[in-house]
Amino acid sequence: MIKTTKDHLDRLIDYEYPPKRIISLCPGITDTLYSLRLETEIVGRTKYCLYPKEQVMNAAIIGGTKKVKLDVIHELKPDLIFAEKEENTKEMVEELEKHFPVFVAEVQSVNEAYRMIHDVGAVTDRAEIADRLENTIRSQFQSLPNAKGKRAAYVIWRKPYMVVGKNTYINSLLERMGFINPFTAYNGRYPSVSIEDFQHAKLDYVLLASEPFPFQEKHQMEFAEFLPNIPSILVDGEMFWYGPRMLEATRYFKNIFGTIN
From residue 65, alpha-carbon distances to 26, 90, 242 in Å are 7, 11, 16
Average pLDDT, the chain: 96
Backbone angles phi and psi of 23, in degrees to 5: -120, 135
pLDDT of 114 reads 98
pLDDT of 73 reads 97
Query: What does DSSP say about strands 232-235 and 12-16: parallel, antiparallel, or unpaired?
Result: unpaired
- Percent of the chain, pLDDT > 90? 97
Residue 260 has pLDDT above 90, yes or no: no
pLDDT of 227 reads 97
> What's this model's pTM, rounded to 2 decimal places?
0.93
Residue 236 has pLDDT above 90, yes or no: yes
Cα-Cα-Cα-Cα torsion 194, 195, 196, 200, nearest 10 degrees, comes to: 110
Lowest-confidence segment of 6-10, 27-31, 247-251 by average pLDDT: 247-251
H or E element that contains 139: helix 127-141
Whole-angstrom distance, CA of residue 171 vs CA of residue 8: 20
Lowest-confidence segment of 30-34, 45-49, 101-105, 257-261 by average pLDDT: 257-261
